[in-house]
Amino acid sequence: NAMRSLGGGKVKGMYHALKGSYSYAPQPGGMSDEVEQELKASGLIFHEPDSKALLCSGVGRNWPEARGIFMSKGKDLVAWINEQDHLKVICRRQGHDVQGAFHLLRDFLSELEAQLQPLGCSFMHN
């Protein structure tokens, strides 16, 4: 739900449930074929685990339910939800703009945490 609310801040984008997932009501059946192909072409989609070690640990349980990808409109930030980790954020920029990529990542995480706090949730920091 927090990802759904991120469309209006500095990091505009959209959440896409994995193909075949019915756990996200706005997208029953998951992302469209077009979005899936776009993510595949960019190398930004994750797949069902096939490693015996991962499967034994329960990583693939109830696949693909409750799993998806948030993609920014600029396609320079992608967040994988419930792949192996709860959240994996990939931020990439063309050229040498490391500071711009860091600011985009910072803004995304700040906005996400702001959406989580009213739900009584936050990130764990170490």
- For 15-61, the DSSP string reads EEEPTT--SSTTSTT-S-HHHHHHHHHHT--------HHHHHTTTTT
What is the model's pLDDT at position 58? 83
Q: How much is the mean pLDDT over the chain?
A: 87
Structure tokens at 107: 């803004």
pTM of the predicted protein model? 0.85
Instruction: Output the pLDDT for position 51.
Output: 86
The CA distance from 3 to 121, in Å, is 13
Q: Is the pLDDT of residue 61 over 90?
A: no
Reported confidence tier of residue 126, pLDDT bands at 50, 70, 90: low
pLDDT at 5: 64
3-state secondary structure of 121: coil
Per-residue model confidence (pLDDT) at position 6: 65
Asked if 95 and 83 touch (Cβ cutoff 8 Å), the reply is no
Average pLDDT over residues 50-64: 85
**pLDDT of 91 strictly over 70:** yes
pLDDT tens for each residue of 19-31: 999 999 999 999 9
pLDDT in tens, 4-49: 666 566 788 889 999 999 999 999 999 999 999 999 998 888 888 8
